[in-house]
Amino acid sequence: MKKICIVFFILIRSAFAEMTLIDYNDQKHQFEKNKNERIVSIECLKKECLANSFPFKKVKIKDGEDPAAVACLETKQAKIVQMHDGIHNEESVCLFNDGSMLTFGSVRFLVSD
């Protein structure tokens, strides 16, 4: 079952390589896949930022915990921000201290076994 979920996640992830998310202050943020296959805030394509290369560690989770949320909080250099796509679909992102952002989908891929 885990392998099926990972394959599904990879297909979904590649389908959304470029997207716009809106924070709850109605500010739009562009995201795009970088050379490392991470979906990051578009500013990270032009300059180095934490979202491009932060070395996430594998995380231990308890029942019901989101591995991306745990990994983002354990960095001590980021916080979780909720956004939406404008049509009622929410997406969580990891907002780093330097202002760069990484989608939870990318974080899950980095911290999964």
Is the Cβ–Cβ distance between 49 and 32 less than 8 Å? no
Does this model's pTM top 0.95?
no
Q: How far is CA 13 from CA 19, 33, 52, 108, in A?
A: 11, 9, 16, 11
58 pLDDT band (50/70/90 cuts)? confident
Is the Cβ–Cβ distance between 19 and 106 less than 8 Å? no
Rounded to whole angstroms, how far apart are CA atoms 9 and 25? 29
What is the residue extent of each domain of the chain? 2-111
**Residue pLDDT, tens place only, 77-111:** 999 999 999 898 999 999 999 999 999 999 999 99
The residues, any chain, with a CB within 8 Å of residue 90's CB and separated by 6 or more, are 82, 83, 84
38 pLDDT band (50/70/90 cuts)? very high
Rounded to whole angstroms, how far apart are CA atoms 57 and 62? 16
Counting residues of the chain whose pLDDT is more than 70, the rounded percentage is 84
